[in-house]
Amino acid sequence: MLEISRYTIPLLLLAIPLFAALRGVEVWNSFIRGAKGAFAVAVDLIPFLVGMLVAIEVFRASGALDFFVGLLSPVGRICGIPSEVLPLALLRPLSGSGGLALVGDLTARYGPESFIARLAATLQGSTETTFYVLAVYLGAVKIRNSRHTVLAALLSDLVGLFAATFFCRLAFF
C-alpha cells in the first residue's frame, strides 16, 4: 500500500498532461492561461486578506480576545472546556497560524500528554479558519451578501469545539 501512495501523485502529474495531449489539447498554452487567471484572482484577493489580517491584529491587541475569554470561562467550565483552551476556540476562526501558535504554547506549557494540549490539538484539527476562508472564497467569486454563511460556519466551529471536548474526554479520561 505504501508503494502505491508514493507513486500516485507523480503518476497523476504525468498522466493528466499526457491524456490531454493525446486528446489534442494544447497543454502548455492551457497551463499558461490558467496561471494568468490564478494570478488575477490572487491580486483581487489581496484587499480581503489585508483586511482580515488587520482585523485579527486589532482583535488581539485591543484586549477583546481576553475580554471574551473572561466572559466565556464560566460557560466553558460548566461544559467541561478548560479556560486555557478558550483563546484557541476564539482565535481559530480568525487565524490558522495564530491558532497553531496557541496550540504550540499550550503544548509547551502543559506538556504534550496533558489533556489541555490534546484538546487544543484536536480543536485545531476540528475547526476551520472561518473568516479567512470566507474572505478568500467569497472574495474570489465576488459575493457581497453572504447571507447565512458566516452564522452557519461559526456554528460548525462551535460544534467542533464541543465535539473535540467530548471525544477528548472520552479518549483521555
What's the pLDDT at 104? 92
What's the pLDDT at 91? 87
Contact between 85 and 117 (Cβ < 8 Å): no
pLDDT band of residue 6 (cuts 50, 70, 90) is confident
What's the pLDDT at 55? 79
- Ranges of each domain in the chain: 40-172
End-to-end CA distance of the chain: 34
Q: What is the 3-state secondary structure (H, E, C) of 6-51?
A: HHHHHHHHHHHHHHHHHCCCCHHHHHHHHHHHHHHHHHHHHHHHHH
How is 75-133 classified by DSSP, letter by letter?
Answer: HHHHHT--TTTHHHHHHTTT-HHHHHHHHHHHHHHH-TTSHHHHHHHHHHHHS--HHHH
What's the pLDDT at 39? 86
Q: What is the pLDDT of residues 34-44, one digit of tens each?
A: 888 888 878 88
pLDDT at 88 over 80: yes
Average confidence (pLDDT) over 68-78: 92
Q: Does the pTM exceed 0.75?
A: no
In percent, how much of the chain has pLDDT > 70? 99
What's the pLDDT at 107? 95
The helix (H) or strand (E) run that includes residue 153 is helix 149-172
